[in-house]
Amino acid sequence: MTEPGPRSPSGFRRLRERELHAGHVITLVEGEFETPDGEVISRDIVRHPGAVCVVPVDGDDVVLVRQYRAAVEKDLLEIPAGKRDVVDEPPVLTARRELAEEVGLRADEMVPLATFYNSVGFSDEYSHVFLATGLHPVPLDRQGPEEAHMTIERVPLDEVAAAVSAGRIVDAKTIIGLLAALRHLGR
């Protein structure tokens, strides 16, 4: 159980939360909140350590991965990404590690592009997006069965917007990262 939190500007306040499940990546809690009117409500919340996402741009291409995602039972085209599973590690270092692990690349430059909450209706997951340029090959170090079976695909930057519009790219972090990168690059 947690201690009550401060009131939000709109008048809501967390009263307590109770852990329902602690998993490999996430923790599920039931939270009780007091509304501005004094009503007590319950909400299921997924606690997540946060994530990093990397848009690796090599010349006129972006380097993506096609990875199986059990929650939707599909292989999705995504930017390299991973959870912030090393306590107090700066997001840029986590992003550099994920870039090397997933696509075997090291970047001379990592530029912060955006930060965002993934699904605020039920989760506190917070992601950091970086643009990686000046890429050099390094050994892969894939972690887990999904990464072991992922493939690397290059997509021309000029085809990114069309791929998003046509539904070939449907992953939210990938859409956010790619569109932020295109804007940053003036494309």
By annotation, the residues acting in catalysis are 147
The sign of the CA dihedral 182, 184, 185, 187 is: positive
Cα–Cα distance for residue pair 38/181, rounded to 1 Å: 44
Residue 125 amino acid letter: E
Q: What is the CA radius of gyration of the chain?
A: 19
Three-state secondary structure call for residue 16: strand
Beta-bridged to residue 2, according to DSSP, are none
Residues 6+ apart with CB under 8 A from 41: 32, 33, 34, 35
Three-state secondary structure call for residue 182: helix
Q: For the packed helices 172-184 and 157-165, what is the interaxial angle rounded to 10 degrees?
A: 140
Residue 32 amino acid letter: E
